[in-house]
Structure 1
Amino acid sequence: MTEKWSDLAVRMGSGLLMVLIGVWGIWMGGDVFHVLVAVICGLMIWELVRMIAPDQAALATQLGGVSAFAVLLAVYLPTGFALPLLLAPAMVGFGQIDKHRVTYMIFCVLVLMAGFGMMNVRDDLGFGWMVWLVMVVVVTDVVGYFAGRLIGGPKFWPRVSPKKTWAGTVAGWIGAGVVGAVFAINTEATMQLIGVSVALSMASQMGDIGESAIKRRMGVKDSSALIPGHGGVLDRFDGMLGASVFLLMLGQVSGFPGGVL
């Protein structure tokens, strides 16, 4: 097995387990899905603080727990009361972290808003649209991973993400477009869903790039070692972070999914 495929077996095993847990959570919906998303958000905040303030381990645990509780409680409240609750962990952490406060504040807000958005997609739009969102992000990542290693070629941003190539990036867009076409054919959505899926793919890649930039700035390879072959939770869900935030904005601008039905 060549060096560039050396992590494939471990990566696929961990990936399969995450897929099974994710599908189960999405299928169950309701409280089960809410708790699953809240735990993921809490772990991402914990990793974020550990990266930017490694000497404040206790604070990382506290902010992770507060963030998980905030996003879980927010989904059961009217939106007007939920919004300040989603922003509170960012403000609390901003006042306590010793350095890189702005980085923490921005990413904390993005993580909690993304989690809140995913909960609402499952609650309001149903199982099918949540599966579509996950499939776009997963296919973008998987197709990009294999295309980048098989095709190679020019790097996308070598200083920040040395393994990401233009071939893998564009292949991710194509894969997402195929997902959109499949869903459009099998639902009442129009073919505009292809374009929406490609845009969502780009947003997921932006989330990945943003997290990679933080890691390079902090001089770490992975956000943590929680997931064998994948690094940390933030490493694995950075794409979902970008896609979910974009989907939240899209809903406000176009009334999605009504705009493509």
Structure 2
Amino acid sequence: MSTTVTKSARWGDLLPRILSAIVMLAVGGFAVWIGGVWFAGLAVIASSLMAWELSRMTRGEGFDASILVALLTFAVLVLAIFTPASWSLPFLLLPSLIGTLTPRRDILAFAPYALIIVLTAIALILLRQINGLWALVWLISVVVASDVLGYFAGRILGGPKFWPKVSPKKTWSGTVAGWIGAVLVGVIFWRVMGWSADILWISPLIAFAGQLGDIAESAIKRRAGVKDASNMIPGHGGLMDRFDALAFAAVLAIALNLALGFLPDTGGFTDPTPDLPNLTE
């Protein structure tokens, strides 16, 4: 009986996980494909919800400012989309600044992560708008390949821990395997898509940023004493649990791209929605 119960508990969330994954894939895939206001809207909403999760996990005693932080994140992102960057950029700091003025347990963790969350939406929108569909496909592929290969290599090979005080489960074997997976993705885009060979060193660097994002979120959850950022996604936890690596990877990708121009303008198959204002103007 106990064995049956254990197996049932272990696989009890399988159906919700599968259904949630299908919904996320369908909604995210549609938004990435079509771009424009649809993708921008999804990015803004997702980042606002992640800001809410972060604020909840790091809140102190007293007033809970989580909804306020989420609304501020939404407001400054909408402002950044529809106004020139030179005017709106200072407002991107508001969620971090206002959040630190409310009862907060982990200010040093909250403030920079809140800014990363704000920049994530902008980074994803810019990549889709400036470089097109395939730039996002590359970014997501790098993060997924790094995560999948890192997971299996860490479980199978084990070995020394990467950063035991912060992330006890992550190993060097899994970390390196994640870099190798990212390089393989880079090879595909280099040879098949005709991108510059720079993508071969950019890809593992982006993967490493994603790994750091995963470690950072794990550390925040551990300090908060929670298993998941929230229960927003049935069987998966919260948005931060699913997109922590993508957040850090996206911010580094757009920073390197704006500085070095390593991603080509790949365009997309279709983009029938109106273009958004250029956030870089």
Q: How many residues align?
A: 258
1:119 is aligned, of 86, 105, 125, to 125
For 1:46-125, list aligned pairs within 5 A: 46-53=52-59, 55=61, 58-125=64-131
For 1:204, the equivalent position in structure 2 comes to 210
2:185 to 155, 175, 179: 179
TM-score by length of 2: 0.82
Structure 1 residue 13: deviation in Å? 4.7
In the TM superposition, residue 150 of structure 1 has moved relative to its aligned partner by 3.2
Whether the 8 Å contact between 1:50 and 1:57 is mirrored in structure 2 is no
Instruction: Tell me the secondary structure at the aligned position of residue 227 of structure 1.
Output: coil
Q: In the alignment, which residue of structure 2 is the partner of 1:193?
A: 199
- Worse overlay, 163-172 or 36-45: 163-172
Q: Is the 8 A contact 1:50 1:56 kept in 2?
A: no
Kept in 1: contact 2:214–2:245 (CA 8 A) = yes
Asked if the contact 2:213–2:248 (Cα under 8 Å) also holds between the matched residues in 1, the reply is yes
1:246 to 244, 247, 252: 252
Gaps of 5+ in 2: 1-6, 265-281
Partners of 2:62 and 2:121 in 1: CA distance: 24
The alpha-carbon distance between structure 1 residues 108 and 50, as it changes in their structure 2 partners (threshold 3 A), is: same
In the other structure, the counterpart of 2:241 is 235
**Partner residue of 2:3?**
none
- CA distance in 1 between counterparts of 2:205 and 2:140 reads 14
Shift of 1:127: 0.7
Which one has a bigger Cα radius of gyration?
Answer: 2
Deviation at 1:143, TM superposition (A): 2.2
Secondary structure of the equivalent of 2:75? helix
Query: How far does the alpha carbon of each residue in 1:16-62 deviate from its partner, in whole angstroms, 9 at most, with x for none?
Result: 43222211110111111111011110111101111011656752012
- Find the aligned partners of 2:56 and 2:39 in 1 and give their Cα distance: 26
- For the structure 1 residues 135 and 217, does the alpha-carbon distance in structure 2 shift closer, same or farther, using more than 3 Å as the test? same
Could you say which structure has the higher helix fraction? 1
1:157 maps onto 2:166 in alignment: no
Q: Distance in 2 between matches of 1:206 and 1:76?
A: 31
The 10-residue stretch of structure 1 (26-35 or 54-63) with the greater mean CA deviation from structure 2? 54-63
Per-residue CA shift, 1:179-201, capped at 9, x if unaligned?
A: 11111112231222111111100
CA distance in 1, matches of 2:192, 2:80: 33
How far apart, CA to CA, are the structure 2 residues paired with 1:83 and 1:237?
Answer: 23
State the 1:2 CA deviation.
11
Is the Cα contact below 8 Å between 1:160 and 1:213 reproduced in 2?
Answer: yes
1: distance between equivalents of 2:49 and 2:153? 30
Secondary structure at 2:65 match in 1:
helix
Structure 1 unaligned regions, length at least 5 = none
Q: Please, which moves more after superposition, 231-240 or 67-76?
A: 67-76
* Secondary structure of residue in 2 paired with 1:75: helix
Q: CA deviation at 1:244?
A: 1.4
Q: Tell me the TM-score normalized by structure 1.
A: 0.88
Q: Root-mean-square deviation (CA), in Å?
A: 2.5
Q: Is the 8 A contact 1:25 1:32 kept in 2?
A: yes
Say which structure, 1 or 2, has more relative contact order (CA 8 Å, 6+ apart): 2
> How far does residue 7 in structure 1 lie from its aligned partner after superposition?
6.9
* Aligned residues of 1:4 and 1:149 also touching (Cα < 8 A): no
Contact persistence 2:17–2:235 (CA under 8 A): yes
CA distance in structure 2 between the aligned counterparts of 1:94 and 1:38, rounded to whole angstroms: 21
- 1:197-236 Cα offsets, whole Å, 9 max, x none, are 1110001101111111112222222211222343211111
Residue 220 of structure 1 aligns with an amino acid whose one-letter code is V
Residues 43 and 233 in structure 1, CA contact (< 8 A), matched pair in contact too: yes
Moved more, 178-187 or 223-232: 223-232
